[in-house]
Amino acid sequence: MNYVEKLFSSSEGKATEKKKSGISKQKWAILSISSIPLVMTLGNSMLIPVLPVLETEMDISSFQSSLVITVYSIVAIFLIPIAGYLSDRLGRKKVIIPSLVLTGIGGFIAGWASWQMDSGYWLLLVGRALQGAGAAGAFPIVLPLVGDMFKNEDDVSSALGMIETSNTLGKVLSPILGSFLAGIIWFLPFLSIPVLSLISILLMIFLVKSPKKAEAIPFRDFVKKVKEIFAKNGRWLYAIFFIGIIVMFVLFGVLFYLSEILESQYDIKNLKKGLFLALPLGALCLASYITGKLIKENQVFMKWISFGGLALLGASIAALGLSKDLWYLITVFLIGAIGIGASLPPLDTLITANIDKKQRGTITSIYSSMRFIGVAAGPPIIAVMMKNSEKIVFYMLTGLSFAAALVILMAIKPTKKGA
């Protein structure tokens, strides 16, 4: 709450007051928009601690349970760029609200399949696919929507910091809420998704006013312009896309690993397991919040914050495989989660600050697709590798984290005004 109060407080002096007025006037809109990443994250991440229960109740393998996360993400990967293009053509709200409706429908189908059917695994996956289609047109469109709402880049950075904080707050609440609901009735997390989606829909309808939409350009000209963007900015855009994949792969891979071993090796289940998983995710949320406040318009600073965060992540993952002590594992991953939280807001801001508004929805949507590749790939790959050697898991995740840090160092070379 202190963050929100400080974010929206007016400063002395006419110049400063003018600079802050954009955020102050849009505070309820920003809070409403922030509900979207919160709902989308809850709708996916809160299922992670439920996966071992799903395996027991539906008599499926750990690989099959991991597909509950993967199917959602794979559908989103392919539809996100289309949703981004449509949002550039039709307007952000006209894409976001129907997408939230689809998310709710998908959640209901998944919950009904779990509740009413003896062998509902495949219908559950259909529901998750629909939910992923809805997610494709919701959270990824938030980034360009925020960019459209403000002219001042400090306002954009502050608002995006709040959006990313909401996203990571969802990750913190996810294991707690998912474990709590599953402790009541194991399929209740699926049925909560329509309720959460409805809340976000109402907030978007009544509290968010769409920015004035620029005149749509012909599709052929649009494609030409996007190609020009990649020709001019390809080096750092491809770097950020690669980093987005790696960060999400490591995050969801380690969360899947911890969820499995907390139950199988330490007999920690339900709400208690959710609380353990929430500790590193809470650190991630705090780091994201602080970073969003600090980066402002200084893109050189953004680069070094992201580099330091990924280097910290790599070091922590390397240390993660040195001991099986429970509190050691939680503490070390908590440190790595701080690195993830610090690296995400600068990457979001680098894209929104350097891409023209007319193509921003498409470019940020491609970036979101890249992040979903990591979400989709992490759990099943870790599930397979855990059966062979856990040490290989840590070697791979460490190497990928340091590779992402190296890519930032070599491919992203911004000035204070541009990447």
pLDDT digits (tens, 9 = 90+) for 325-353: 999 999 999 999 999 999 988 988 888 78
Q: pLDDT-derived band of residue 102, with 50, 70 and 90 as boundaries?
A: very high
What sign does the CA torsion over 116, 122, 123, 125 have? positive
Alpha-helix residue ranges (DSSP H) falling in 59-91: 62-90
DSSP three-state, residue 47: coil
Distance CA 74, CA 369 (A): 9
Structural domains of the chain in order of their starting residue, each with its CATH number: 27-411 (1.20.1250.20)
Residue 227 pLDDT exceeds 90: no
Q: pLDDT-derived band of residue 116, with 50, 70 and 90 as boundaries?
A: confident
CB-count burial class (<10 Å; 0-12, 13-18, 19+) for 231: exposed
Amino acid 341 reads G
The mean predicted confidence, pLDDT, of the chain is 85
Cα–Cα distances in angstroms (integers) from residue 358 to residues 99, 221, 225, 245, 386, in the given order: 21, 12, 9, 25, 45
Residue 216 pLDDT exceeds 80: no
Residues 158-186: pLDDT tens digits? Answer: 787 788 678 777 878 888 999 899 889 99
Amino acid 165 reads T
Residues 120-144: pLDDT tens digits? Answer: 999 999 999 999 999 988 888 887 8
pLDDT top residue among 213 and 241: 241
- Residue 163 tokens read as 């959006």
- Of the candidates 219, 163, 205, the residue with the CA atom closest to the CA atom of residue 359: 219
Residue 97 pLDDT exceeds 80: yes
Q: pLDDT-derived band of residue 7, with 50, 70 and 90 as boundaries?
A: very low
Q: Each residue of 208-227: b (16+ CB within 10 Å) or e?
A: beebebeeeeeeeebeeebe
